Amino acid sequence: MKTLIIVFSICFSCLSFFYAQTSIVTVHNYNIEAVLSESTQTFDVNLICSISTTENLGPIQFLLKSETNLYSVDYRTNNEWREVPFIFNGKDSLLLMAGEKLSKNTKYDLKLEYSFPVEEINDTLLILDRGHRWYPLIVDKVFTYTLKCIVPEKYKVLSSGKLQEVNNINGRSIFTWDCNKPVFKLPLIIFNPKNYKRTEIISSENDIEFYSLTIDSIETKNILNQADTILGYFNKTIGRFSRDKLIYFEVPDFQGVNVGSGLLTTGSESLELIGKGYRDALILTLAQQWFGAGVFADFNKKGFFFFSISLPHYLRLMYVRDSDGEELFNISLLEPMKRYEEFAGSENDIPVIDVDMPNTKEKAIVLYAKGPFVLSKIENEMGRDNWRTFLADLYMAFCGKIMTYDDFKINMEKYDKTGGALILFEKLMNEKGIPE
């Protein structure tokens, strides 16, 4: 079985300081105006970040790329902008010396003006994402945003959310994107549409757009039709897809699929494999639109990778069962467990709940093999109808929000008629070895 890489584009550095300094901060919204200048090969950004805090603040730590030329940082109070001192205190680490200027239970606007160099685009493309740290980022926050991006008129701009308008003025194009439902990252793609073929299908339920570079129209339509069917399944089983549109964008020399909310950046090799019938990544990355990029796990807390990887994998298996039957479901569930059996219970094994990062082969296998197996046990204990109602209500309650491990258990308890499912869940999540 071929395995496709799923990329979450999450930053893991500087986390201890982040959580000591910014766990009390809420990021509400970004309002961004960005200009791509081909003549100077720079990207100029004027950004307002709306935040609030539950306590009086000291310094605020953001991630922002070190190559940034940061001209000014200000905060707004009483309709006046006041300067905030700042320093870069490490690789891609920006420290704002807010001091006691920002008091608790008050909403503030931070304004940053900066630029950073970009390579010459010509007829290629520019992709900026969470991992590029092109906007001031606090890693455990979700937010809404408005993005106005000004580019030379030969280029087009994609992002999450909804494209509100496109204006062409004096040889430049102005794209305005509005993302009014929270996301965990702010992606930006600038490309020459002459190099891409745009294909769109609008069905009774879904609007899916595909920008293909190497795959032919037949394969594109095939992928779009499969995606429409899969989205329709999860619409019915869990709840309506929370985005207005789903966009696929093909990138050559990219490994796997980078999952954003309503935007999937997909490598050419991955698309070729999907076209040859390897559907796992297609189903998985669509399942993550519900849990992963729709309902967000609590970053760097217990259960984060279980909810981001294991739960969507089990949703994928549910789709396999309902579309292809129990036999293929059981094969797809048990085949990965053979790899887990090779080290189950050994010193290399680790309880599912203790996987802090999939940075070893064993941890990755625990997440995509044992994690879904645990969920199959819970579904059997709860009963299939209760399990599906539980998932649907969980999605309704937390779509666009961060869900903690305790949230998951509290909601499970509502549909656990005997109390056995929650007890079993805690046992299986916290022990090594193959569940009985």
Confidence of residue 124 (pLDDT cuts 50, 70, 90): confident
More confident site: 55 or 18: 55
Mean pLDDT along residues 271-290: 93
Is residue 10's pLDDT more than 60? no
Is residue 207's pLDDT more than 80? yes
pLDDT of residue 121: 74
Q: Where in the chain is the domain with CATH 2.60.40.1730?
A: 15-192
Scanning the structure block, which residue is given the tokens 């069962």? 321
Report helix, strand or coil for 351. Answer: coil
- The CATH fold of domain 15-192: Immunoglobulin-like (2.60.40)
Q: Is 120 exposed, middle or buried (0-12, 13-18, 19+ CB in 10 A)?
A: exposed
Is residue 11's pLDDT more than 50? no
From 259, 251, 58, 32, select the one nearest 149 (Cα to Cα).
Answer: 32
Q: Where in the chain is the domain with CATH 1.10.390.10?
A: 196-294, 297-430
Look over the chain and give the mean of its residue pLDDT values, rounded to a whole number: 91
Q: Taking the model in full, what pTM does it have?
A: 0.92
Please give the Cα distance from 353 to 296 (Å, whole number). 17
pLDDT of residue 5: 45
pLDDT of residue 275: 84
More confident site: 37 or 1: 37
Is residue 222's pLDDT more than 80? yes
Please give the share of the chain, as a percent, with pLDDT higher than 90.
79
Residue 355 CB contacts under 8 Å (≥ 6 apart), including other chains: 305, 306, 363, 366, 367
Confidence of residue 422 (pLDDT cuts 50, 70, 90): very high
pLDDT of residue 138: 93
Mean pLDDT along residues 3-10: 43
Asked if 369 and 335 count as a contact pair (C-beta separation under 8 A), the reply is: no
What count of Cα atoms within 13 Å lies in the side-chain half-sphere of residue 202?
2
For 91-161, list the strands marked E by DSSP.
93-96, 107-117, 125-128, 143-152, 156-158
pLDDT of residue 17: 40
Helices vs strands, H then E, count in the chain: 12, 22
Mean pLDDT along residues 326-344: 97
Report helix, strand or coil for 408. Answer: helix
Please give the share of the chain, as a percent, with pLDDT higher than 70.
93
Please give the Cα distance from 360 to 337 (Å, whole number). 16
pLDDT of residue 398: 98
CA dihedral 9, 15, 21, 26 (to 10 degrees): 20
Asked if 82 and 90 count as a contact pair (C-beta separation under 8 A), the reply is: no
SS3 for 224-271 is HHHHHHHHHHHHHHCCCCCCCCEEEEEECCCCCEEECCCEEEEEHHHH
From 410, 385, 379, 408, select the one nearest 395 (Cα to Cα).
Answer: 408
pLDDT of residue 8: 43
Residue 304 CB contacts under 8 Å (≥ 6 apart), including other chains: 297, 298
Mean pLDDT along residues 29-46: 93
Mean pLDDT along residues 413-422: 92
Question: Which helix (DSSP H) or strand (DSSP E) does residue 426 occupy?
Answer: helix 420-430
* DSSP character string of 43-86: EEEEEEEEEEESS----EEEE--TT-EEEEEEEEETTEEEE--E
Mean pLDDT along residues 294-319: 95
Rounded to 5°, the CA angle 404-409-412 comes to 125
Please give the Cα distance from 334 to 207 (Å, whole number). 34
pLDDT of residue 328: 97
Asked: is 196-294 a CATH 2.10.109.10 domain? The reply is no
pLDDT of residue 95: 94
Please give the Cα distance from 150 to 369 (Å, whole number). 45
| Class level of CATH domain 297-430 | mainly alpha
- Side by side, the strands of the sheet bearing 246-251 are 6-7, 257-259, 263-267, 246-251, 207-212, 197-202
pLDDT of residue 99: 62
pLDDT of residue 2: 41
What is the C-alpha radius of gyration for the chain, rounded to an integer number of angstroms?
22
Please give the Cα distance from 94 to 312 (Å, whole number). 34
Confidence of residue 122 (pLDDT cuts 50, 70, 90): low
Mean pLDDT along residues 304-330: 97
Scanning the structure block, which residue is given the tokens 């799923």? 6
| Axis-axis angle for helices 384-398, 405-414 (nearest 10) | 130
From 276, 208, 281, select the one nearest 248 (Cα to Cα).
Answer: 208
Confidence of residue 378 (pLDDT cuts 50, 70, 90): very high
User: For 49-98, how does the pLDDT look when each residue is reduced to its tens digit (9 = 90+)?
Assistant: 999 888 766 788 999 999 999 999 999 877 889 999 999 999 999 999 87
From 419, 418, 407, 336, select the one nearest 376 (Cα to Cα).
Answer: 336
User: For 382-404, how does the pLDDT look when each residue is reduced to its tens digit (9 = 90+)?
Assistant: 999 999 999 999 999 999 999 99
* Cα distances (angstroms) measured from residue 7 to each of 135, 151, 255, 358: 19, 27, 8, 12
From 148, 127, 124, select the one nearest 48 (Cα to Cα).
Answer: 148
